[in-house]
Amino acid sequence: MVNYTVAEIAILLDGKIEGNAALTINKVSKIEEGSENSLSFLANPAYIPYLYTTKSSAVVVNSDFVPSQAISCTLIKVKDAYQSFARVLEIYNQNKIEGEGISTQSHIDKTAVIGKNVYVGPFSSIGKNVLIGYGGKICSHVYIGDHVEIGNDVMLYPGVKIMANCKIGNKVVLHAGVVIGSDGFGFAPQNGNVYSKVPQTGNVVIEDFVEIGANTTIDRATMGSTIIRKGVKLDNLIQIAHNVEIGENTVIAAQTGIAGTSKIGRDCMIGGQVGIVGHITIADKVKIAAQSGIMTSIVNEGEVVQGSPAFGKMSYSKSYAVYRKLPELNTKIYQLEKELEKLKQSLPIE
């Protein structure tokens, strides 16, 4: 991390200082593992005891926090300590990529147009008629195909692949191994169990402020575009098929798979290992629990579902409570059947 003073960090976070504003900060750490010249944060009350023993030079805290005993560190008081420290980590992460300029070991086609202050690492390849905005960082072994358009301040980690004709917005982060615009899984069955490949002629459009985790793959559309809307956050190891559309600010956890042509609403939260079939629609603000299987459209905004096939979470919880007791219920039914049989035998024969 580049050296910052406490005063400079407070300005970045719009915070108020209680202590020594001239202290130098050059690293970040957990509050319980703090050391000299490090910056920590305190948002969870469970970690308050560490504030009185930490060796961190400065700690970011909520503006209404008041220590109950003496402290040795400097406090930076902010509106939201968790969000503010996330901003610090973002700056720290950006500073880890210290490369500048364009590596002589990279390949850039003469028709490509690259904006100011863009870093291109060794062994990266940029194709014909590519447009790249200003301020981006393109690490080593990145492949950018022909006619790709990339916005400003984009971060492409090592091994990212962006295939031809795809469009990437501003302030997008693609982590290591992400593949954008790979072929969609399109095959038409023929006689004799033979499959004929359907050409995938579309592209992928990723809007501004999207972040995509390592080794996630997003297929190009058969025709038109696979679209990832503004502010979407995708975890590692996610598969998104051709012609899928994901709405603004939706977040999806690892190992989820979304089949072709499905439309996901905005502000949705999708847990890990969820499977979503093709050609369905999911409404805005829907929450899907981990390992659920979505077989039909979800039309009600804000619905919370779980299970495979998934249905309402409250119904699922009640059903699962019964399911867990099935062995006990089966034993009781067996006992009741025996008692009923004995009762029948004891009755007089008419």
Owner of token pair 């973002």:
90
Q: How far apart are the first and last CA of the chain?
A: 95
Q: Alpha carbon 57 to chain centroid distance?
A: 32
- Rounded Cα distance between 172 and 211, Å, is 6
Q: Which residues on neighbouring strands pair with residue 60, listed in sequence order?
A: 41, 76
Q: Which of 141, 147, 175, 242 is labelled catalytic?
A: 242
Burial of 294 (0-12, 13-18, 19+ CB in 10 A): buried
- Rounded Cα distance between 185 and 135, Å, is 35
- Rounded Cα distance between 121 and 160, Å, is 12
Cα dihedral 167, 210, 108, 203 in deg (nearest 10): -30
* Per-position DSSP letters for 246-275, written without gaps between them: E-TT-EE-TT-EE-TT-EE-TT-EE-TT-E
The residue type of 69 is Q
- Rounded Cα distance between 58 and 9, Å, is 10
242 is catalytic: yes
- Which residues are marked as active site? 242
